[in-house]
Amino acid sequence: MTTPDTADRCWHCPAVGAVIDGGLCWEYCLADSGGPIDTRKFLQKWIATSGRFAGLEDFHSVCASCPHCQWTSQAKS
């Protein structure tokens, strides 16, 4: 849940269709690329049960289009 002091660090994630904070965004962006293993496993399970994506690669293609994407932000630096 966002509060006034965290609202500026939270945004809508187009890949999951929900508001998430910057830390979770980072974990999602880097899942299977050096990010936390538990997040990768969670996303793989969520992808399988939701049917929204064929796999993490498809998930990350949506991530990469987001202006908050941590992965593309690192690539631009």
pLDDT of 77 strictly over 90: no
pLDDT 10s digits, 1-43:
444 555 678 999 999 999 999 899 999 989 998 899 999 999 9
pTM: predicted TM-score of the whole model, two decimal places: 0.78
pLDDT class for 64, splitting at 50, 70, 90?
confident
Assign 3-class secondary structure to the chain. Answer: CCCCCCHHHEEEECCCCEEEEHHHHHHHHCCCCCCCHHHHHHHHHHHHHHCCCCCHHHHHHHHHCCCCCHHHHHHHC
Q: What is the pLDDT of residue 63?
A: 87
- Measured in degrees and rounded to the nearest 5, phi and psi for residue 34 equal 100, -5
Q: What is the pLDDT of residue 39?
A: 95
Residue in the block written with tokens 């929900």? 18
Q: Which of 40, 39, 77 is nearest to 69 (CA)?
A: 77
